[in-house]
């Protein structure tokens, strides 16, 4: 099965991340996500995108087993794929809603924050940006998404403490736009509302809200990638990553 599937009905494109068991992100999965969002952006028949994660985990973030096995070229390839996927979502001119009802951790949480409207389910799962726990620096694209999506207090709590929070607590810190027992239905309802309006004006407003972040990504993405690569290859980070792998 492909790691990302898409369906379209009533002008809504559903993009589903489906890489068992925890929707971990390796380069093929990230490129498949980018392909799906870039295709939605280019398709005039698509008015909005609903982003979902299959199973009990929206996404556990980067595939750490893949990462610890990478040499410098492999780390570069992973970072390129990650930037491409995050930017395809963050820059998509169509309305993007994401429904989260399972764990969203590290890069998985960043994927969710890249949407225009994030609905958190009320179930028993956890959310968090755990990068600093293992010494992983944020690539510029990921940082700008977090900076745009979270208020200052919430961003400090998520980033510095690098812990995992239940959805109600995360929502109280400013993560997400709605908390609902049926997050998929709530996300669809939001999309139904916004796609009934002129598409150009939504895209225009989205650009106004995000263009400063996009410009910072463009200016600093490539120059910062080497620093992130060196950190990921450093012995302390490698040791922390290996220690965090499931046994």
**What does the block give as tokens for 28?**
């093929």
Bridge partners (DSSP) listed for residue 9 = 12
Which among 37, 82, 77 has a CA at the least distance from the CA of 61? 82
Domain boundaries, the chain: 4-183
pTM score, whole prediction = 0.97
The 3-state DSSP class for residue 76 equals helix
Measure the CA dihedral 26/230/37/127, to 10°: 70
Digits of tens for pLDDT over the chain (247 positions)? 899 999 999 999 999 999 999 999 999 999 999 999 999 999 999 999 999 999 999 999 999 999 999 999 999 999 999 999 999 999 999 999 999 999 999 999 999 999 999 999 999 999 999 999 988 999 999 999 999 999 999 999 999 999 999 999 999 999 999 999 999 999 999 999 999 999 999 999 999 999 999 999 999 999 999 999 999 999 999 999 999 887 7
Q: The domain 4-183 belongs to what CATH superfamily?
A: 2-enoyl-CoA Hydratase; Chain A, domain 1 (3.90.226.10)
User: What gap in Å lies between CA 122 and CA 204, rounded to an integer?
Assistant: 32
Helices and strands: H and E segment counts in the chain: 10, 9
User: What gap in Å lies between CA 176 and CA 115, rounded to an integer?
Assistant: 10
User: What gap in Å lies between CA 245 and CA 233, rounded to an integer?
Assistant: 16
């Amino acid at each position: 099965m492909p790691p990302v599937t898409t369906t379209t009905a009533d002008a809504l494109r559903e993009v589903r991340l489906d890489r068992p068991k925890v929707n971990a992100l390796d380069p093929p999965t990230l490129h498949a996500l980018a392909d799906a969002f870039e295709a939605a952006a280019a398709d005039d028949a698509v008015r909005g995108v609903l982003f979902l994660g299959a199973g009990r985990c929206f996404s556990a973030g980067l595939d750490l087993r893949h990462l610890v096995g990478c040499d410098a070229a492999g780390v570069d390839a992973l970072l390129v794929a990650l930037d491409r996927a995050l930017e395809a979502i963050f820059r998509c001119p169509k309305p993007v809603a994401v429904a989260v009802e399972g764990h969203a951790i590290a890069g998985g949480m960043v994927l969710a924050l890249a949407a225009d409207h994030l609905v958190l389910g009320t179930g028993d799962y956890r959310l968090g940006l755990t990068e600093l726990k293992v010494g992983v620096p944020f690539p510029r694209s990921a940082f700008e998404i977090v900076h745009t999506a979270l208020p200052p207090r919430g961003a400090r709590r998520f980033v510095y403490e690098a812990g995992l929070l239940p959805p109600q607590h995360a929502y109280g810190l400013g993560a997400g736009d709605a908390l609902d027992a049926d997050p998929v239905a709530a996300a669809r309802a939001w999309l139904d509302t916004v796609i009934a309006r002129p598409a150009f004006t939504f895209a225009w407003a989205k650009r106004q809200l995000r263009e400063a972040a996009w410009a910072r990504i463009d200016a600093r993405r490539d120059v910062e990638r080497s620093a992130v690569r060196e950190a990921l290859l450093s012995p302390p980070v490698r040791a922390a990553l290996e220690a965090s792998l499931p046994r």
